[in-house]
Structure 1
Amino acid sequence: MPLIDDDGNLFGAVNVIDAIIVVVLLAVVVAGIAVVAALGGSESETRYATIELENQPDYVVERIDEGDVATFEGSGDSITVTDVQITPSAANEGNSSQPDVTIRTEVDGERIEDEDREEDQFQVAGNPVMLGNEIQLDMGAYATSGTVTDLGHDGETLSDAEGATTTRAAVELENVRPSVADGLGEGMSETMRGETVATVEDVESEPASIVLQSEDGNIYEREHPQNRDVTIVVELQTTETETGIEFRGERLGVGSSIVLNFDGMTVQGEVSAVE
Structure 2
Amino acid sequence: MPVIDDKGRLFGKINIIDALAILFVLAVIVAGVALVTGGDNSTSKTSTQTVVFDIGQQPQYIIDAIEEGSVEKEAIVAVKNKTVIPAKRTDIPLNCTDQVRLTVALTVSETADGLPMFKGERLYIGRQVRLDLWTTIVNGTVVTLRSQ
Q: TM-score under structure 1 normalisation? A: 0.39
Q: Following the alignment from structure 2 to structure 1, what is the Cα–Cα distance between the partners of residues 53 and 83? A: 11
The structure-2 alpha-carbon separation of the partners of 1:225 and 1:259, relative to structure 1 and needing over 3 Å to count, comes to same
Q: CA RMSD in A?
A: 2.9
- Residue 189, structure 1, aligned to residue 71, structure 2: yes
Q: 1:209 touches 1:224 (CA, 8 Å); kept in 2?
A: no
Sequence identity of aligned pairs in percent? Answer: 20
Q: How far 1:168 sits from its partner (Å)? A: 0.5
1:125 alignment partner in structure 2:
none
Name the amino acid aligned to 1:183: A
Give 4+ residue runs of structure 1 displaced > 6 Å after superposition: none
The structure-2 alpha-carbon separation of the partners of 1:224 and 1:208, relative to structure 1 and needing over 3 Å to count, comes to farther
1:170 alignment partner in structure 2:
52
Q: 2:48 touches 2:107 (CA, 8 Å); kept in 1?
A: yes
Name the amino acid aligned to 1:207: P
Q: How far 1:225 sits from its partner (Å)? A: 0.8
1:236 alignment partner in structure 2:
106
- Structure with the largest fraction of strand: 1
Q: Which runs of 5+ in 1 are unaligned?
A: 1-35, 50-104, 107-151, 211-220
1:245 alignment partner in structure 2:
116
Q: Following the alignment from structure 1 to structure 2, what is the Cα–Cα distance between the partners of residues 209 and 270? A: 22
The structure-2 alpha-carbon separation of the partners of 1:161 and 1:272, relative to structure 1 and needing over 3 Å to count, comes to closer
Q: Following the alignment from structure 2 to structure 1, what is the Cα–Cα distance between the partners of residues 145 and 68? A: 18
Q: Following the alignment from structure 1 to structure 2, what is the Cα–Cα distance between the partners of residues 261 and 206? A: 22
Q: Following the alignment from structure 1 to structure 2, what is the Cα–Cα distance between the partners of residues 188 and 222? A: 35
Q: How far 1:226 sits from its partner (Å)? A: 0.8
Which of the pair has more CA radius of gyration?
1
1:138 alignment partner in structure 2:
none
Aligned residue pairs: how many?
A: 122
1:224 alignment partner in structure 2:
93
Name the amino acid aligned to 1:202: N
Q: Which runs of 5+ in 2 are unaligned?
A: 1-16
- Structure with the largest fraction of helix: 2
Q: Following the alignment from structure 1 to structure 2, what is the Cα–Cα distance between the partners of residues 48 and 264? A: 39
SS in 1 for 2:93: strand
Which of 202, 214, 218 pairs up with 2:81?
A: 202
Name the amino acid aligned to 1:43: V
Q: How far 1:259 sits from its partner (Å)? A: 1.1
Q: Following the alignment from structure 1 to structure 2, what is the Cα–Cα distance between the partners of residues 197 and 188? A: 9
Q: How far 1:237 sits from its partner (Å)? A: 0.6
Q: 1:166 touches 1:237 (CA, 8 Å); kept in 2?
A: yes
SS in 2 for 1:254: coil
Say which structure, 1 or 2, has more relative contact order (CA 8 Å, 6+ apart): 2
SS in 1 for 2:85: strand
Q: TM-score under structure 2 normalisation? A: 0.67
Q: 2:48 touches 2:108 (CA, 8 Å); kept in 1?
A: yes
Could you list the per-position Cα deviations for residues 226-267 of structure 1 after superposition, in whole angstroms to 9, with x for gaps in the alignment?
Answer: 112211101111122216211122111211111110115111
